[in-house]
């Protein structure tokens, strides 16, 4: 039995910027997210196809990731819009690296990109530990 860890609404909002791969990162698909980023959503074709694939990606993410105190959608919104300031890390309780991101623009952007690859796993780990 799965719980609703990811939101279709957030998925579709990120899909609007889908040529960057953000919706694919959100649903735990960093490899294809990166491909979408570098190819502008497979020249727009993959981006358009994803309009119909989002419900399936949402179900897969719901089965794969653990629900808990940390909300995936909040974490992704914070990363997407305030990631260079480390606000998403502070939300996860990682205050030291959050402050470090704040002072270094997300460790000069590299930490920000790293978190696009790993945020779902970071949240999943916290939720599985129960705190």
Among 64, 88, 109, which residue terminates a domain? 64
Q: Both 51 and 82 in a single domain?
A: no
100 φψ region: left (φ > 0), alpha (ψ -120 to 50), beta (else): alpha
Q: Which of 64, 93, 110 is the last residue of a domain?
A: 64
**2 in a structural domain:** no
Per the CB < 8 A criterion, the answer to whether 65 and 72 are in contact is yes
Residue 30 has pLDDT above 90, yes or no: yes
Domain end (from 17, 47, 64): 64
Give, in degrees to the nearest 5, the angle at Cα 121 between 91 and 72: 45
Structural domain for 89, as ranges: 72-129
Given a cut of 90, is residue 20 above it in pLDDT? no
In a domain, 117, yes or no: yes
**Do 42 and 90 have their domain in common?**
no
Note the pTM of the prediction, 2 decimals. Answer: 0.90
pLDDT tens-digit readout, 47-73: 999 999 999 999 999 999 999 999 999
Q: Quick one: what percent of the chain has pLDDT higher than 70?
A: 98
- For tokens 């358009």, the residue is 48
């Amino acid at each position: 039995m799965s719980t609703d860890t990811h939101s279709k609404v957030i998925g579709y909002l990120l899909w609007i910027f889908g040529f960057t791969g953000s919706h694919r990162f959100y649903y735990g698909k960093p490899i294809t997210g990166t491909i979408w980023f570098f190819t502008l959503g497979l020249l727009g074709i993959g981006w358009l196809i994803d309009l119909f694939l989002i419900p399936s990606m949402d179900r897969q993410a719901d089965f794969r990731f653990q629900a808990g105190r940390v909300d995936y959608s909040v974490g992704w919104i914070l990363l997407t819009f305030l990631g260079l300031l480390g606000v998403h890390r502070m939300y996860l309780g990682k205050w030291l690296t959050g402050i470090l991101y704040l002072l270094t623009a997300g460790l000069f952007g590299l930490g920000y990109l790293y978190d696009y690859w790993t945020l779902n796993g970071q949240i999943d780990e916290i939720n599985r530990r129960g705190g």
